Structure 1
């Protein structure tokens, strides 16, 4: 990892992560974030440069809009920190081309996680983008990884759909959202045989969250946990940390 990449990665990652979180949060509200100036979610006042510097502005403003003092959604700050962290990790463990692709995957997953956390819905467009990036990352590891990803996606999707049908028939509740199934299948194109690791990590984190947060309906947004575990396992796989165990 050269010095220039080390300096640029967290800066660019924080900017991209901020934008990704904004896209996800606005999608959850039925809005779009691809045009127009940055603005306060509460009072809609346009934000100047000093209020949009990733991480620093949030801390300096005390997590609230400078004009209306409405608290800024913490998802924006989380997206900035995660974007910077994922970019640094990508550059640290992967060659330049793969690092860019992995960081782009991280940005899409940040947007998906923000949307799911805010609305309990996962955007189909995010899952489609994950699928495309996942195929590309798998191909960079070689034909065997690509075939493993295609097989993993088909098998994972089929199993999860059968589980949803079984839970719905027995309990009247499928338990797992269809968006979660789509996102998991899309991630499986990247993860291949490592997909069960990601699902196991997300499941354990979900159980811990239910126990600690104790939601009234016993349900949580699974997307943020799935995206976090999926990216972590994917980076490990891309970096060869599984050795010869997995393609």
Structure 2
């Protein structure tokens, strides 16, 4: 059953991941992604269906618009690939109900990660939706897991705000945006007692990203690392990888 669901999840994940990435990119431009046909980000020409097939169209077009030859933002390809991976992982590791919720949360995180990578801002609405889905997934494991998740979220928010205050007082730079704090709290509702693992993985990924990116101001968008780490830890927790050690 899960194998069949995985084959179905492959194209569905690619399509929904494509939409999530587009929504994240358009949010940075003050545009919506719900109504209207797909358009080139550069020349705004309407794209035909053949140019919007997830992953395949990007590869066929060589990563550039067929009309103006402007580069297609790599966030589209990243979102489509991520959509495939998280949808298939969800249905392979979880029962269908929690799998759908986990995949939905993953798609929300794809949109948030793309938006943060482009603008260094995380949409509050996506963090709210992530919190609702994370709480629903925790509740699937039982009321105790939801309670632990609530405590983890409050503790996470308090600790991160204190750290921001310390950094701001000492260096004038809080180092972490409030959007990151909100997203971390939303994910902690799901990851519960495993939240420290989320920060360990996100921190390591952030260090690698900082080493590779070499931005002018020495800062990075932490949202993508946080989203990937939180979803991975949450999925492992939901699938019972931690056993009885973590509720």
TM-score (norm 1): 0.98
Aligned to 1:81: 81
Q: How does 1:195-210 map to 2 (within 5 A)?
A: 195-210=195-210
1:217 Cα offset (Å): 1.3
Q: Structure 2: where are the runs of 5+ without partners? A: none
Aligned to 2:140: 140
Q: Structure 1: where are the runs of 5+ without partners? A: none
Q: How does 1:56-205 map to 2 (within 5 A)?
A: 56-205=56-205
1:3 Cα offset (Å): 4.2
1:213 Cα offset (Å): 2.5
1:129 Cα offset (Å): 0.4
1:4 Cα offset (Å): 2.9
1:20 aligns with 2:20: yes
Q: CA RMSD in A?
A: 0.8
Q: How does 1:3-42 map to 2 (within 5 A)?
A: 3-42=3-42
Q: Deviations over 1:200-244 (max 9, x none)?
A: 111111112222332221100000000000100000000000001
1:193 Cα offset (Å): 0.9
Q: Give the conservation status (yes or no) of the 8 Å contact 2:3–2:92.
A: no
Q: Deviations over 1:120-174 (max 9, x none)?
A: 0000001000000001000001011000001000110011011111111111110
State the distance in 1 between where 2:6 and 2:245 align: 30
State the distance in 2 between where 1:6 and 1:216 align: 42
State the distance in 2 between where 1:101 and 1:228 align: 16
Q: Deviations over 1:167-202 (max 9, x none)?
A: 111111101100000000010010111111111111
Q: Deviations over 1:77-135 (max 9, x none)?
A: 00000000100000110000010000000000000000000000000001000000001
1:32 Cα offset (Å): 1.1
Mean Cα deviation higher: 121-130 or 2-11? 2-11
State the distance in 1 between where 2:42 and 2:210 align: 30
TM-score (norm 2): 0.98
State the distance in 1 between where 2:218 and 2:3 align: 47
Q: Give the conservation status (yes or no) of the 8 Å contact 2:2–2:92.
A: no
User: CA, structure 1 residues 210+4, in 2 after alignment: closer, same or farther (shift >3 Å)?
Assistant: same
State the distance in 1 between where 2:139 and 2:212 align: 40
Aligned to 1:245: 245
Aligned residues: 247
